[in-house]
């Protein structure tokens, strides 16, 4: 699926399933500023992904991303079953880190998403300090080159590590691809939507700064305005 005009916000609804549904209802007036709602492992471990999606679809038509939160990093057969099950539950896109289990798992993640008709989103780099200290220096580039070959259209890169974000944007621009960058790390982890979008983020991923806000709708609108300002400076 295409998440549409950039920039827009991916709302990370890391709260209890019924609260996530209430949040979706509250955010309906900002439908055009929201690329998708992101559901996660907490929902799967609570009432289940299928039930959460069913409840969500009763009140809203937001595109839904499933983020198993560092999921899809297993043997290729299990990766495929995770993707197909998420798709069967009614999800539109899945975020995974399949390369954590090597190139074959990454390939299976992409081919399964394709055959299920859902969008593959690959997390390339995390936001917290030291997250990739065990990687070799050229690891992100190798993964990037491989996902380009596989036709991945969306990556996740840190919205609070501006130099890294700049690097990913440069790789995408040099490749001439239309690949989009989704970025967590904004708000609760210090990244600023305006700055991240100016540098390279297309879709800020924001959770706590929205769902913990007294007025989540206003929070989305403010983050969106800030993202638009960043986009105009590109």
Of the candidates 7, 8, 9, 12, which one interacts with ligand XMP according to CB under 6 A?
Answer: 12
Count the residues in the chain: 234
Residue 208 marked ligand-binding:
yes
Q: Give the interface segment with ligand XMP, choosing from 18-26, 45-53, 119-127, 173-181 (CB under 6 A).
A: 119-127
Of the candidates 27, 79, 206, 219, which one interacts with ligand XMP according to CB under 6 A?
Answer: 206
Q: Is 188 in the site for ligand XMP (CB under 6 A)?
A: yes
Q: Pick between residue 146 and residue 208 the one whose CB is nearest to ligand XMP.
A: 208
Of the candidates 90, 208, 228, 229, which one interacts with ligand XMP according to CB under 6 A?
Answer: 208
Q: Look-up: residue for tokens 């559901």?
A: 39
Q: Pick between residue 189 and residue 213 the one whose CB is nearest to ligand XMP.
A: 189
Q: What part of residues 151-170 is at the interface with ligand XMP (CB under 6 A)?
A: 156, 158
**What residue number has its CB nearest to ligand XMP?**
207
Q: Pick between residue 176 and residue 223 the one whose CB is nearest to ligand XMP.
A: 223
Residue 77 marked ligand-binding:
no
Residue 166 marked ligand-binding:
no
Q: Which residues bind ligand XMP (CB under 6 A)?
A: 12, 14, 40, 67, 69, 123, 126-127, 156, 158, 184-185, 187-189, 205-209
Residues at the annotated binding site?
14, 38, 127, 207-208
């Amino acid at each position: 699926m295409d998440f549409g005009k950039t920039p827009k916000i991916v709302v990370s609804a890391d709260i209890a399933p019924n609260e996530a549904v209430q949040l979706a209802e509250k955010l309906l007036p900002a439908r055009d500023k929201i690329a998708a709602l992101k559901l996660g492992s907490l929902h799967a471990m609570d009432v289940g992904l299928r039930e959460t999606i069913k409840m969500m679809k009763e009140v809203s038509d937001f595109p839904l991303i499933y983020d198993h939160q560092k999921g899809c990093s297993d043997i290729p057969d299990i990766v495929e079953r995770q993707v197909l099950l998420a798709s069967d539950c009614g999800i539109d896109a899945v975020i995974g880190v399949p390369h954590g289990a090597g190139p074959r798992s990454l390939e299976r993640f992409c081919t399964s998403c394709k055959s299920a008709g859902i969008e593959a989103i690959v997390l390339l780099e995390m936001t917290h300090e030291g997250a990739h200290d065990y990687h070799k220096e050229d690891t992100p580039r190798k993964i990037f080159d491989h996902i380009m070959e596989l036709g991945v259209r969306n990556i996740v890169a840190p919205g609070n590590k501006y130099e890294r974000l700049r690097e990913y944007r440069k790789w995408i621009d040099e490749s001439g691809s239309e690949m989009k960058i989704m970025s967590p790390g904004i708000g609760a982890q210090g990244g600023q939507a305006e700055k991240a979008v100016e540098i390279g983020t297309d879709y800020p991923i924001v959770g706590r700064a929205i769902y913990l806000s007294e007025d989540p709708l206003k929070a989305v609108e403010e983050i969106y305005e800030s993202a638009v300002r960043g986009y105009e400076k590109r």
